[in-house]
């Protein structure tokens, strides 16, 4: 799966030519992780107020098993300014993803490069995945950033009505939280 995301800028190099776009390559475990990565890219694009063009390619772990997809993903990763890995904190990274990351980072000639881990699950679940990614980033002299997130699936989190029905005790704090209309106030996640 490949999806371009671009913004407009007008930023130019010192010789008047347009600046090269900021390239992000995303590899992810599943659709939910891909959606979180896309939301993160949109958030980044919004925070940077479209100061420069952004291009983003997204690949599923499974697609890296196919030669044509692997070659295209490798080209994308080796020219990226940022590589984002969106996966489940509780599951080990597939070997094909680890090898792709190591190869892409080794071939990348960017002076500044970031490896960003978006891990779905609890902090204690992802220590192994986090340490593998941190070691890969360290070997490539890349900056490493990690963020844990919970899925925003109502079936997983439960609706405020279902939580209210199941409660055994309603404190004023819980009541205030459940009455919030902004979902990020309930989950702590801002997209």
Dump pLDDT digits (tens) for 47-70: 776 666 788 899 999 999 999 999
DSSP letters, 18-56, are BPPPEEEEEEESSHHHHHHHHHHHHHHHHHTTTSS-EEE
pLDDT at 124 (0 to 100):
75
State how far Cα 78 lies from the chain centre.
17
User: Is domain 22-151 annotated with CATH 3.40.50.360?
Assistant: yes
Dump pLDDT digits (tens) for 112-137: 889 999 999 877 776 899 999 999 99
pLDDT digit of tens for each residue in the chain (191 aa)? 443 333 333 344 445 545 678 889 999 999 989 999 998 888 888 777 666 678 889 999 999 999 999 999 999 998 899 999 999 988 999 999 999 999 988 887 777 889 999 999 877 776 899 999 999 999 988 999 998 888 654 443 444 444 444 444 445 554 555 555 544 443 443 33
What's the predicted TM-score (pTM) here? 0.69
Confirm if 29 and 23 have CB atoms less than 8 A apart: no
| Three-state secondary structure call for residue 150 | coil
Structural domain boundaries in the chain: 22-151, 154-191
């Amino acid at each position: 799966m490949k999806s371009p995301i671009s913004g407009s800028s007008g930023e130019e190099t010192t010789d008047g030519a347009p600046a090269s776009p900021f390239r992000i390559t995303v590899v992810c475990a599943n659709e939910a992780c891909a959606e979180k990565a896309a939301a993160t890219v949109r958030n980044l694009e919004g925070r940077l107020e479209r100061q420069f063009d952004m291009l983003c390619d997204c690949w599923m772990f499974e697609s890296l098993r196919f030669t044509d997809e692997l070659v295209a993903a490798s080209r994308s990763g080796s020219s990226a300014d940022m590589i984002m890995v969106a996966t489940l904190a509780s599951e080990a990274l597939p070997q094909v993803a680890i090898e792709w990351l190591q190869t892409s980072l080794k071939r990348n000639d960017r002076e500044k490069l970031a490896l960003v881990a978006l891990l779905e699950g609890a902090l204690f679940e992802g220590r192994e995945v986090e340490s593998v990614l941190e070691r890969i980033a360290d070997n490539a002299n890349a900056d490493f950033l990690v963020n844990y997130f919970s899925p925003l699936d109502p079936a997983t989190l439960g609706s405020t009505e279902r939580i209210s029905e199941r409660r055994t005790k309603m404190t004023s704090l819980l009541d205030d939280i459940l009455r919030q209309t902004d979902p990020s106030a309930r989950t702590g996640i801002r997209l």
